[in-house]
Amino acid sequence: MGNLLSANFYRLLRSRVFYAGLLGAVGVETYSLLSKCRGIRNWDSGLEEAFFFYPMLVVLAMPAFCGIFLGAEYADGTLRSKLAAGIPRWKVYTANLMLAAVVSLAFSAAAILPGLALGIPLVGGFHLSAQALAAYLVCSCAVGVAAASVSTMLAMLVPNRAVGLVVSILLALALLFVGQSLMAALLEPELVQESTQIVENGQVAYLTKYGAPMVPNPNYLQGVSRALCTFFLYFLPTSQCFTVAFTTLDFPWLLLTLAALFTALTTGAGLGLFVRKDVR
């Protein structure tokens, strides 16, 4: 395993894709921080309001990175020379997963450093407690590792690099949309002010009178549906990143546990299929 890791990192340090990803992480975090600061004149919140957008970037960047970097093993045929040399498949897969996990952490670090360097002078410090801040940082790393795991699985199972790249990026975008929808559904308030539906020129509108009584929100999820939505919000890396980005992480341990479960499941499935796969 050490040999494969050594070879992987030797290649990583010569990879333009990796350095482009690091620069991208720096750029996106800087841009999101500056644009958020510009939009709010009197900033009275902590830095956390604009700081934790990088997990979203990592969730999108990992499929692209794995599709290009790991997918090249199929495209360039170098996977064949590893297998023909008698390297067990599980070692090849695990070494690639470990590399992808480290890259996800590197992308996160590349975003955190300028975020701190710019954010503290511009906005001031975090309003979160040290414990909460640590939880957010650890959870953001867990989100990156989970994204690395599913991206590795796709890159190792789809032999056509272009197809693998497109499939994994589209999947990430689709699941980001699912994550956003889950987040929106769970943030619906339990009670809302009573409003009256009116139709004007065929347009439906809701009129809320000042001081109207609070009534149950019909869009508020309850029971099994709420539990299921919460599960998937904390299970999928594409929705985990929203809870971190919007600092609505109520259950950090649940996120860590489900991120570990997600990583284990995708790795197990990927390994199981890769070991039996006919490599061309």
Partner 1 sequence: MEYVLETRGLCKHYRHFNALDSLTMRVPKGAIYGLVGKNGAGKTTLIRVVCGLQDPTAGSYTLYGKRWGERGLAQARRRMGAVVETPSLYPDMTAVDNLKMQCRVLGLPDNKEIPDLLKLVGLENTGKKKARNFSLGMKQRLGIAVALCGDPDFLVLDEPVNGLDPQGIVEIRELILKLNRERQITVLISSHILDELSKLATHYGFIDGGRMVREVSAQELDAACRKCVRAQVTNIQALVWVLDRLNREYSVVDDKWVDIYGAVNISELVGELDKEQCQLLSLKERDESLESYYINLVGGERDG
For residue 20, give both structure tokens. Answer: 């482009």
Least distance (Å) between residue 162 CB and partner 1:
16
Q: Quick one: 36 or 82, whose CB is closer to partner 1? A: 82
- Should residue 13 be labelled a site residue for partner 1 when binding is judged by CB under 8 A? no
Instruction: Give strand pairing partners of 216.
Output: 191
Question: Helix 252-276 to helix 237-245 angle, to the nearest 10 degrees?
Answer: 150
212 to 251: interface string for partner 1, x by CB under 8 A: ----------------------------------------
Instruction: Find, among 64, 230, 55, the residue nearest to 146 by Cα.
Output: 55
Q: Quick one: 38 or 276, whose CB is closer to partner 1? A: 276
Q: How many residues bind partner 1 (CB under 8 A)?
A: 28
Residue from 88, 124, 189, 216 touching partner 1 (CB under 8 A): that is 88
Instruction: Find, among 171, 166, 162, 153, the residue nearest to 75 by Cα.
Output: 162
58 to 77: interface string for partner 1, x by CB under 8 A: --------------x---xx
Cα separation, 226 vs 112, whole angstroms: 33
3-state helix, strand, coil in the chain (%, to 5): 70, 5, 20
Number of H helices, E strands in the chain: 12, 4
Q: Quick one: 21 or 119, whose CB is closer to partner 1? A: 21
Q: Which of residues 250-279 bind partner 1 (CB under 8 A)?
A: 276, 278-279
Residue from 23, 40, 78, 117 touching partner 1 (CB under 8 A): that is 78
Instruction: Give strand pairing partners of 196.
Output: 207
Binding residues (CB under 8 A) for partner 1: these are 2-4, 6-7, 10-11, 14-16, 72, 76-88, 276, 278-280
